[in-house]
Structure 1
């Protein structure tokens, strides 16, 4: 067989776009790649900036929150201290009020007892022949005798020699007798120490001038009409009237 050769000569001028068609796609890919890289770079920058901003904001927020927490804590501490002071004040006020209430209750109790006692006493009267002054009954003896025998007579009547504790009682006793009489005062137990028959010391005194002088064993006291019903000391064996006293 005879081989046939065809000589074809490529003419670039016939297809002028063939070179452009071959390089165009590669150029577009490069531009796209560059744009993508640029976008990624910008995105990375924005992300980094965002992270930094978020960190700064978080730090600022945390710092601000810590400051606010510290302020709140300080305010709470101050409030608690004020509350403790107020509580202490109220506790002291309560204790004082309780003390006053207790005191008033005790006084009220005493007043109630006094009222009941007065009510009871108001219903009582002195026996026949006795004279009442305040809450006591008095009687003047009908005979004279020694201080000791006069006291024994008072005991037989359920009484004792009179004890004078006030100016008012002294005035009553002064008007009760127009004769000198024994009263329940002596220093027989201890020389120079005058006491009433119930053992109580003198809270009221009505001695005459320079009395008691304790001459010749004068250990018992009288109410002396010659001295203006003032008190005078005499020997206990002297014979006088006497005044007895007993409670209503």
Structure 2
């Protein structure tokens, strides 16, 4: 600006009247050129300002576009991350449910295995007990077999059953006579311990025969001659009745076989007897 105004000539002030009269057209031309020059300069400044604003506006537009694109990209990325998060949460939920199912299944399997193991242990314990019982029984049988093999067989005319010898007398007499005869032979009147032994005796007893059962010590309390109480019973119907109150039969304190059953009779009645002794 200073350079532009440096070439302009300034006239000395003159009287307005004299100046108007002397330099009218020339002075007006100078003012016009100065105004044009100022307008040109203003136009240049305006143009420069407009260009600057345009450039600045373009830059702002570019920045805005970039920011918009970045914001959109950020929103897209955020949306993508949100979807990914939702997928991961959904997958995590599915995995948690699957883990819960697996834990329940594992618990069921564990319970079943525990029950099967307990049942197996119980069965094993039962089998062990059964094995021990069988072994014990086998030991007893082996000992009994060994004892039987070491013993002498029953004497002539005696019958053998298990580990005992039996003799049916050839004569008859009272219950006491029969017992004394058995004792003289190293035996006693037979004591019946089982139904198998009783069945064995019935095979060769064909008539009334004394055996080792009496209630002479206390009426109604029957005991075997070895002192053991009566447990196995095979009384005839209505027996024992101690004579039924008939004086003809007297006190019936001794037992005898009637076919395959028992009856009580007076101990002095004559009949055969059966002796028993260990082999």
* TM-score after normalising by structure 2: 0.62
- Corresponding residue for residue 203 of structure 1: 232
- Corresponding residue for residue 160 of structure 1: 188
Whole-Å separation in 1 of the counterparts to 2:203 and 2:235: 11
Q: CA deviation at 1:167?
A: 1.9
Within 5 Å, give how 1:89-108 maps onto structure 2: 89-108=116-135
Out of 207, 216, 219, the residue aligned to residue 191 of structure 1 is: 219
- Corresponding residue for residue 59 of structure 1: 86
- Corresponding residue for residue 138 of structure 1: 166
- The answer to whether the aligner puts 1:245 opposite 2:276 as a matched pair is yes
Structure with bigger gyration radius: 2
Indicate the SS of the match to 1:166: helix
Indicate the SS of the match to 1:125: coil
Q: CA deviation at 1:180?
A: 7.0
Out of 236, 239, 244, the residue aligned to residue 267 of structure 2 is: 236
Q: CA deviation at 1:236?
A: 2.4
Out of 189, 201, 219, the residue aligned to residue 169 of structure 1 is: 201
CA contact (8 A) 2:173 2:269 kept: yes
- Corresponding residue for residue 45 of structure 1: 72
CA contact (8 A) 2:242 2:265 kept: no
Q: CA RMSD in A?
A: 4.2
Unaligned runs of 5+ in 1: none
Unaligned runs of 5+ in 2: 1-5, 10-32, 244-248
CA contact (8 A) 1:142 1:241 kept: yes
Q: CA deviation at 1:196?
A: 2.9
- Corresponding residue for residue 25 of structure 2: none
- Corresponding residue for residue 68 of structure 1: 95
Q: CA deviation at 1:168?
A: 1.7
Number of equivalent positions: 233
Out of 140, 144, 155, the residue aligned to residue 117 of structure 1 is: 144
CA contact (8 A) 1:185 1:196 kept: yes
The change in CA–CA distance for 1:111 and 1:206 in structure 2 (over 3 A counts) is farther
CA contact (8 A) 1:137 1:245 kept: yes
The change in CA–CA distance for 1:210 and 1:103 in structure 2 (over 3 A counts) is closer
Within 5 Å, give how 1:6-21 maps onto structure 2: 7=8, 19=44
Whole-Å separation in 2 of the counterparts to 1:128 and 1:209: 38
- Corresponding residue for residue 221 of structure 1: 255
Whole-Å separation in 1 of the counterparts to 2:81 and 2:114: 48
Could you give the per-residue CA deviations for residues 183-236 of structure 1, whole angstroms, max 9, x where no partner exists? 21223244345443233436364869988763211222346xxx7798664432
Indicate the SS of the match to 1:217: coil
CA contact (8 A) 2:239 2:264 kept: no
The change in CA–CA distance for 1:110 and 1:46 in structure 2 (over 3 A counts) is same
The change in CA–CA distance for 1:236 and 1:185 in structure 2 (over 3 A counts) is same
Give the structure with the higher percent helix: 2
Whole-Å separation in 2 of the counterparts to 1:122 and 1:209: 44
